[in-house]
Amino acid sequence: MLVKMRNPKREIEMGGDRTVNHLLDALDLVRESHLVICNGTLVPGDARLADDDVIEIRPVISGGC
Amino acid sequence: MVAAGSKCRSCREPAVIDLPRHNANFCAEHLQQLCRRQMQKAIEDYDMFGPNDRILVAVSGGKDSLAVWDMLVEAGYEADGFYVGLGIGDYSDESTRYVTAFAEERGLRLLTVDLRDEYGYDIPTAARATKRVPCSACGMSKRHLFDKAAVDGGYDVVVTGHNLDDEAAVLLGNVLHWDIEYLARQLPVLPAANGFPRKAKPLVRLTERETAAWCLLRGIDYLVEECPIAAGNRHLHHKGVLNSIEKESPSTKSAFYLNFIDNMAPLLADQTAAASGDLSRCVRCGAPTTGETCAFCRLVDKASAHDPVPVELVLGKRGRR
């Protein structure tokens, strides 16, 4: 699957057939700091992803002072 | 993708988000209901404002300020937006586009001020001219201009999009230094006093993951990229620490902040009163100040006399820290 990430913007290919939580763990990302969007739809941690999915991992942390 | 096994706590339809702090999952409709209820609870519990008050929402183009503006308008409040052009290179150009598009698409009133056009400086230049961190000049400029716009426009309250993560991170920073004066002022609503308008933070019961989800589900385009100058600041570090704790112990973050407001803030109330003694008026702009000339006017003097500084120079300086 194609995984789109931010800060900095980049795209990586990863093997599918894993849950959202497993994907975040594999990328060493904290769930509380991210939303995961699969093929344009927001998905929870136990959603199972497939090889042909396009995933956006969107950070939600902002530095407002 | 295979549909998630988790179901919405309210309707048992497939969930779109898991919220460990609520030990629950929610579908799109009931996540929005949760957000609406949490905002309304904050407004009522902390007596932020009423249905007839005129609200000025400080907007940046990010998720939180656009979310709170959207939620207030949807709930029937009279809320206009106020945007400050900070001159932080492409980041500010993008922010302007998101804010303007949001207001135009919804037919909302947006007031704008551009620091370079109206005061002769921008944030990178102010940082260099004052030899202080950019976030300091940025925060001070915005607070002054929010206050001025609210007073000049006859608004009853200034609303900002500060969320639970913002407040918990600031609280952690204040506790780590036991800064009593800042702790005493860290309230979800500050009353109008001494020429300052009332200020309220209706999103303090919502995490930024929830406000981001609100924007996504409501089709709100916002600037996802972080302010390039803020990257790596102490505030973001504190957020990361709290989210690491939250991962191991869900709902700790909300308990940390909301229990402070309920249990600790009342004990600091006399500190707030002591810190808000009588103020004089700035001889230049009339804003409340402890001195003859307010901090904003002094900043304008220094920054507008300085040659413009490109944002890249400020980024380079932070990067070497």
Q: Tell me what pLDDT residue B182 has.
A: 92
Sign of CA dihedral B295, B109, B186, B265: positive
Q: Tell me what pLDDT residue B226 has.
A: 84
Average pLDDT of B10-31?
97
pLDDT per residue over B74-94, tens digit each?
Answer: 999 999 999 999 999 999 999
Give the whole-angstrom CA distance, residue A10 versus residue A28: 16
Give the whole-angstrom CA distance, residue B80 versus residue B157: 11
Residues sharing a CB contact under 8 Å with residue B177, sequence separation 6 or more, in sequence order = none
pLDDT of B261 higher than 60: yes
Q: Tell me what pLDDT residue B269 has.
A: 87
pLDDT of B320 higher than 50: no
pLDDT per residue over B100-123, tens digit each?
Answer: 999 999 999 999 999 999 999 999
| Angstroms from B163 CA to nearest CA on chain A | 10
| Angstroms from B5 CA to nearest CA on chain A | 7
- Chain A residue with Cα closest to B143: A65
| Angstroms from A61 CA to nearest CA on chain B | 7
Give the whole-angstrom CA distance, residue B182 versus residue B275: 10
pLDDT per residue over B211-252, tens digit each?
Answer: 999 999 999 999 998 888 887 788 889 999 999 999 999 999
Q: ∠ at Cα B33 (B255, B43), nearest 5°?
A: 55
Residues sharing a CB contact under 8 Å with residue B257, sequence separation 6 or more, in sequence order = B164, B167, B168, B171, B204
Q: Tell me what pLDDT residue B231 has.
A: 74
Q: Between chains, do B2 and A61 touch, taking CB under 8 Å as contact?
A: no
Residues of chain A predicted below pLDDT 70: 64-65
Task: Give me the residue from A30, A38, A65 closest to B243, CB to CB.
Answer: A30
Q: Between chains, do A62 and B226 touch, taking CB under 8 Å as contact?
A: yes
Q: Coil, helix or strand for B227?
A: coil
Q: ∠ at Cα B269 (B161, B168), nearest 5°?
A: 35
Q: Tell me what pLDDT residue B317 has.
A: 47
- Substitution target from A31, A32, A57 for chain B, most B beta carbons within 10 A: A32
Residues sharing a CB contact under 8 Å with residue A51, sequence separation 6 or more, in sequence order = A1, A15, A16, A17
Q: Which residues of A touch B186 (CB under 8 A)?
A: none
For residue B75, count other CB atoms closer than 10 A to its CB. Answer: 14
Q: Between chains, do A33 and B162 touch, taking CB under 8 Å as contact?
A: no
Task: Give me the residue from A37, A43, A63 closest to B227, CB to CB.
Answer: A63
Q: Within its chain, how far is the Cα of B319 from the centroid?
A: 25
What are the contacts of B240-248 at 24+ separation with CB within 8 A? Answer: B240/A30, B240/A33, B240/A61, B241/B172, B242/B165, B242/B168, B242/B169, B242/B172, B243/A30, B243/A32, B243/A33, B243/A61, B243/B165, B244/A30, B246/A32, B246/B20, B246/B21, B247/A30, B247/A31, B247/A32
Q: What is the DSSP letter of B267?
A: G
pLDDT of B143 higher than 80: yes
- Chain A residue with Cα closest to B59: A64
The mean predicted confidence, pLDDT, of chain A is 92
CA distances from B112 to B67, B175, B178, B186, B303 (A): 18, 35, 37, 27, 20
Q: Which of A19, A40, A53 is nearest to B5 (CA)?
A: A19
| Angstroms from A4 CA to nearest CA on chain B | 13
pLDDT of B321 higher than 70: no
Residues sharing a CB contact under 8 Å with residue B142, sequence separation 6 or more, in sequence order = B58, B84, B86
Q: What are phi and psi of B144, to 5 degrees?
A: -60, -45
Q: Tell me what pLDDT residue B228 has.
A: 87
Does the interface ipTM go beyond 0.90?
A: yes
pLDDT of B276 higher than 90: no
The mean predicted confidence, pLDDT, of chain B is 93
Q: Between chains, do A42 and B138 touch, taking CB under 8 Å as contact?
A: no
| Angstroms from A11 CA to nearest CA on chain B | 16
pLDDT of B132 higher than 70: yes
Q: Tell me what pLDDT residue A64 has.
A: 57
Angle subtended by helix axes B164-176 and B208-218, to nearest 10: 160
Average pLDDT of B13-39?
97
Q: Which residues of A touch B240 (CB under 8 A)?
A: 30, 33, 61
Q: Which residues of A touch B166 (CB under 8 A)?
A: 62, 64
Task: Give me the residue from A7, A39, A44 closest to B17, CB to CB.
Answer: A44
> How big, in percent rounded to 5, are the helix, strand and coil portions of chain B?
55, 15, 35
pLDDT of B1 higher than 80: no
Average pLDDT of B189-209?
96
pLDDT of B14 higher than 70: yes
pLDDT of B272 higher than 70: no
Please name the residues between 4 and 43 in chain A that touch chain B, using a CB distance below 8 Å.
Answer: 6-7, 30-35, 37-39, 41-43
Give this prediction's pTM: 0.94
